[in-house]
Structure 1
Amino acid sequence: MRPSARTTAEVMAQVLRTTASLAFTEGLNPAQWSALRYFAQATPSARSVVAFARYHGTTKGTASQTIAALLKKGLLDRSRSERDRRTVNLELTAAGRLVLEHDPLNELAAAIASLSDAHHQHLAEGLDQVLRTLLVRRSRRTGGPAPRRGEAAE
């Protein structure tokens, strides 16, 4: 028997809560972990406050607060662009890369890795579709274009 969408959503919410609760470690909160992951993977042209805010669907002000905390902790470094001195580039420091080795998301990744290949494939495809649907629905509510998953970091 197929589970109801509501039941599946409740399980997904529980997974998210559990994962988020793990993310209060190493003196960081979930938003800061997310920012570290973003800047570790972003291309040089996407290592800005605006690109980070766009990718995470948040305001520039909220993104700036998260980034400011990481700068203060010495996990990110900022530098001016050589070509355009108005542009600020953000990069992980050596300390930031070291902290990422203890990323609490690794716990979720390990749980996913324990799935059979078929279950992992179905989960990945299903979650990708759920995310795309949520992004489209959000863009309709806000009146903006639907962002593509991974858009800013590609």
Structure 2
Amino acid sequence: MSLPEIPSDRIAELLIHIGRSSRHEDAGSKLTPAQWTCLRFFARSNRSTRTPSGFASFHATTRGTASQIIKSLEAQDMIVRRKSPDDGRSVYFDLTDAGHVALEKDPLGDLIAVLDSLDDADRAKFLLTLNRLTSSLSDSRGARTFGTCGDCTHFTHTAQSGYCSCISEEIELDQINQLCASYSPPHLTERSADVRS
């Protein structure tokens, strides 16, 4: 007996539906969905990725629109601009105490609670599938792919923490699960190798 066909368009519709329904905001929220996305992005990203261009790429918007969203969060004292210690001309952003407090009331809380109710194996498979979808979609559009060190081809586990060959630096344990714009997903590297052979 063969399994019924799985309609990909239905899966796509459900992903969009989940995204939209989970972005509802309490009547008292001061932030728009785009501002919530920006706040989450800066909370989850490594320092080199917490830039206006990093957020613009992640949010799939223009640099100008990203800058306006960032400025609105700065005006509300949710994030603070800092000069990069590596390059005095570039900047990155950190969350302020007010930004961290705001994230405690993140509208994604209901969705996170539902995901927390899944067992570890189901969550791991779901995350792997979503990472593959995100990476493949970005690759097909020629867009930047975001991910974390743990499953990046640039990353090597060491005895103490890890090493990133992209930036030629040690990665501390608390940074391994942060989003990075220099992420290189394994399956895209494998596909490139297949094409070359």
TM-score range, shorter chain: 0.7 to 0.9
Taking structure 1 as reference, are residues 133 and 60 closer, same or farther at Cα in structure 2, changes over 3 Å only?
same
Aligned to 1:148: 145
Determine if the alignment matches structure 1 residue 77 to structure 2 residue 52.
no
Taking structure 1 as reference, are residues 117 and 106 closer, same or farther at Cα in structure 2, changes over 3 Å only?
same
Determine if the alignment matches structure 1 residue 27 to structure 2 residue 30.
yes
CA distance in 2, matches of 1:153, 1:84: 17
Instruction: Tell which deviates more after alignment, 27-36 or 2-11.
Output: 2-11
CA distance in 2, matches of 1:118, 1:89: 35
Could you tell me whether the CA contact under 8 Å between 2:42 and 2:95 is conserved in 1?
yes
Amino acid in structure 2 at the alignment position of 1:55: F
CA distance in 1, matches of 2:111, 2:102: 17
In the alignment, structure 1 segments of 5+ residues that lack a partner are 140-145
1:75 Cα deviation after fit: 0.5
Instruction: Determine which structure has the larger strand proportion and give its number.
Output: 2
Taking structure 1 as reference, are residues 35 and 25 closer, same or farther at Cα in structure 2, changes over 3 Å only?
farther
Amino acid in structure 1 at the alignment position of 2:112: A
1:13 Cα deviation after fit: 1.8
Determine if the alignment matches structure 1 residue 12 to structure 2 residue 2.
no
CA distance in 2, matches of 1:14, 1:23: 18
Aligned to 1:108: 111
Could you tell me whether the CA contact under 8 Å between 2:77 and 2:98 is conserved in 1?
yes
Higher RCO structure, 1 or 2 (CA under 8 Å, sep 6+)? 1
| Identical counterparts, % of pairs | 35
CA distance in 2, matches of 1:153, 1:72: 29
Amino acid in structure 1 at the alignment position of 2:181: A
Instruction: Tell which deviates more after alignment, 53-62 or 66-75.
Output: 53-62
CA distance in 1, matches of 2:26, 2:181: 23
Determine if the alignment matches structure 1 residue 63 to structure 2 residue 60.
no
Taking structure 1 as reference, are residues 6 and 30 closer, same or farther at Cα in structure 2, changes over 3 Å only?
same
Taking structure 1 as reference, are residues 122 and 80 closer, same or farther at Cα in structure 2, changes over 3 Å only?
closer
Aligned to 2:45: 42
The TM-score with structure 2 as length reference comes to 0.65
Amino acid in structure 2 at the alignment position of 1:53: A
Taking structure 1 as reference, are residues 118 and 45 closer, same or farther at Cα in structure 2, changes over 3 Å only?
closer
Instruction: Determine which structure has the larger helix proportion and give its number.
Output: 1
Taking structure 1 as reference, are residues 39 and 115 closer, same or farther at Cα in structure 2, changes over 3 Å only?
same
Provide the aligned length of Structure 1 versus Structure 2: 148
Q: Max radius of gyration: which structure? A: 2
Runs of 4+, deviation exceeding 6 Å: none
